[in-house]
Structure 1
């Protein structure tokens, strides 16, 4: 079954006790604004940036693991995209709420998330 996917953006994972300060630093470093300080939900703390280059989705996330940056790939069929990436050599690490945490053959972690606005930004790639 055909599906579509594309780069959604970047998540800056911050092992910090002060997510506001982390978001302020990264917003100033990247020349963007903090658009939503409460972008998370009851189990995750996120702050989303606005005015990002190319309208990429960029946010900071409070985490318990070491700080790092990971990217999100958005797809209209999360399971189909995860399977496509497995065929390329990635492996599934965990299914969290609505998305797959995956690991590339290079060891980099990334997420496959639901596509929110397929009509906005660059057209998604189409896969068979």
Structure 2
């Protein structure tokens, strides 16, 4: 048995610097910027969210701008396998997560558990 839930909404931004993008989305969504450079590499900015909400991340990318979901899980291999049985395909393993593609063509990531407490919005899979 393992668990999963939506971890993050990720705004893929085709920009040189995320600062202006983070400021725009902060004002548009009414969420303060929590970090302009989350990992120190200039690739991720984060807007503030409550503990029971998905993260709001901005990611600097080379591909066209879009939004994607991150699904967090306490068993990465089991969740990826479950999603493959539903028709998803593995695209690439990056650092600590899988980039996958849904049968609908949408890309998404399956990541390890991001917060200490999973919270009330949790799916349980056998």
> Equivalents in 2 of 1:16, 1:73: separation in Å?
25
Within the alignment, does 1:64 sit opposite 2:62 as a pair?
Answer: yes
Contact 1:4 1:75 in 2 (8 A): yes
Q: What are structure 1's unaligned runs of at least 5 residues?
A: none
> Equivalents in 2 of 1:10, 1:81: separation in Å?
18
- TM superposition outliers: structure 1 runs of 4+ over 3 Å: 51-54
Please tell me the root mean square deviation across aligned C-alpha atoms, in Å: 1.7
Q: TM-score normalised to the size of structure 2?
A: 0.91
Q: Assess, with a 3 A threshold, how the Cα gap between structure 1 residues 48 and 74 changes in structure 2: closer, same or farther.
A: same
Aligned residues: 126
Q: What are structure 2's unaligned runs of at least 5 residues?
A: none
> Equivalents in 2 of 1:114, 1:88: separation in Å?
20
Q: Which piece of structure 1 moves more, 69-78 or 46-55?
A: 46-55
1:38, CA displacement in angstroms? 1.9
Residue 30 of structure 1: aligned partner: 29
Contact 1:90 1:105 in 2 (8 A): yes
Residue 94 of structure 2: aligned partner: 96
Deviations 1:17-76 (A, max 9, x none): 23100111111111111001121354x610011045952201101001111000000000
Q: TM-score normalised to the size of structure 1?
A: 0.90
> Equivalents in 2 of 1:120, 1:112: separation in Å?
15
1:116, CA displacement in angstroms? 2.2
Contact 1:52 1:58 in 2 (8 A): no
